Amino acid sequence: MSTILKRHIDPERAQHRRTQVLDAAAICFARSGFHGASMAEISKQAGMSAGHIYNYFDGKDAIIMAFVDMRMAHVNDRLRNMAKQPDPLAFMCDDIANIVDENMHQAFLGMSLEIFAEASRNPTIACALRAADADARGQLHALIQTGREQRGLAADTLTVDGRTEALICLFSGLSLRAVHHPDLDRASMVAAFRVAMEALLMT
């Protein structure tokens, strides 16, 4: 999956402009929501004309697709790093504090919820999210299967499928908890999350 890029003479300058638009769009979406934020509002926040923005993005759908691409690239980097570790399952459990912080970060959860909401009514965004999910899920499945095989644990498809989906559900739920209970105790959450992850991954 990739966002359609328009042709520009200077690719480096074009990428800088795209980043400028995305930074502005993130602020506007957080403030007004995806549908509430207009291209005029985004252009004002970015300090450029609306017509100039259309040189880099065809519209708001293209902007939100770019956020999906960015998130997927980040997830891929994390999964590839985990796969390089001698004991990927232990590494994942040891990294739980970072995973919790990232998924409960205000900027991340705000954009994530906007994208999920848009996917519920926009087939194009829904299709992109499902493709991204299938890719990440496949990588996580392979990582868990390899890690369990290394430990001599059950690593059949049904077992690994269930553990993978349960783990993804735990991650996904972090953002919702941050919205519903913003004052929850982080330390106790990290400790409990580690217990759950060790049970799912190493038993």
**The predicted structure's pLDDT at residue 107:** 67
- 90: its two tokens: 């232990």
DSSP string over 45-65:
HHTS-HHHHTTT-SSHHHHHH
Task: Identify the band that residue 158 occupies on the pLDDT scale cut at 50, 70 and 90.
Answer: very high
Tell me the pLDDT tens digit for each residue of 33-91. 888 888 889 999 999 888 888 888 988 889 988 988 888 888 889 999 999 999 999 99
Report CA-CA distances (Å) from 29 to 45, 93, 200.
11, 33, 35
Kindly state the percentage of the chain with pLDDT values over 90.
43
Fold of 60-202: Tetracycline Repressor; domain 2 (1.10.357)
Q: Is the pLDDT of residue 2 over 90?
A: no
Q: How many CB atoms lie within 10 A of CB 94?
A: 13
- Numbered ranges of CATH 1.10.357 in the chain: 60-202
Tell me the pLDDT tens digit for each residue of 189-203. 899 999 999 999 999
- 22: its two tokens: 């995305």
Tell me the pLDDT tens digit for each residue of 88-147. 999 999 999 998 888 787 666 777 888 888 888 889 889 999 999 999 999 999 999 999
What's the mean per-residue pLDDT of the chain? 87
- Numbered ranges of CATH 1.10.10.60 in the chain: 1-58
**The predicted structure's pLDDT at residue 201:** 95
DSSP string over 15-36:
HHHHHHHHHHHHHHHHHH-TTT
Q: How many CB atoms lie within 10 A of CB 37?
A: 22
- 41: its two tokens: 């509002």
- CATH code of the domain occupying 1-58: 1.10.10.60
**The predicted structure's pLDDT at residue 192:** 93
Tell me the pLDDT tens digit for each residue of 80-90. 999 999 999 99
